[in-house]
Amino acid sequence: MPRITYISHEGEVKILEGRSGESVMRTAVRNGVRGIVGECGGVLSCATCHVFVDLGCLDRLPPPGDMEDELLEGTAVDRGVNSRLSCQIIATDETGDIAVTLPEYQE
């Protein structure tokens, strides 16, 4: 099972066992990770699950699709080169462990 490391804007670290096939957003919401809102429930319509993926993990993920790319332009905190919507990052054995840093705020 892949492990997901969530790093808050303040540097607080929370490591969770992910379920293969479950999104990084769903794992966060299910486990009460503060900083990921997931207002739309993961249907790619709100951008309140914005995260910064650790650069060492980024190349193991598929690139963002057109809709995700468009939504990343409207995040509350400015987009970075490693910005992703956590509802679109699916934890699998192939992706391995993933580390993400949460922005200062989502809304």
- Residue 60 has what pLDDT? 93
Q: Does 16 score more than 90 pLDDT?
A: yes
- Tally of domains within the chain: 1
* Residue 107 counted as domain residue: no
Residue 3: count of CB within 10 angstroms of its CB: 13
* Residue 74 counted as domain residue: yes
> Global pTM?
0.95
For 30-85, how does the pLDDT look when each residue is reduced to its tens digit (9 = 90+)? 999 999 999 999 999 999 999 999 999 999 999 999 999 999 999 999 999 999 99
Domain boundaries, position 71: 3-101
Contact 62, 36 (CB under 8 A): no
Geometric angle at alpha carbon 94, from 97 and 46, rounded to 5°: 70
Strands (E), the chain: 3-7, 13-17, 50-53, 83-85, 98-101
CATH of the domain at 21: 3.10.20.30
- Residue 107 has what pLDDT? 81
DSSP annotation of 68 reads H
Geometric angle at alpha carbon 74, from 103 and 58, rounded to 5°: 55
Alpha helices in the chain (DSSP H): 24-30, 55-58, 66-72
CA distance 65 to 43: 13
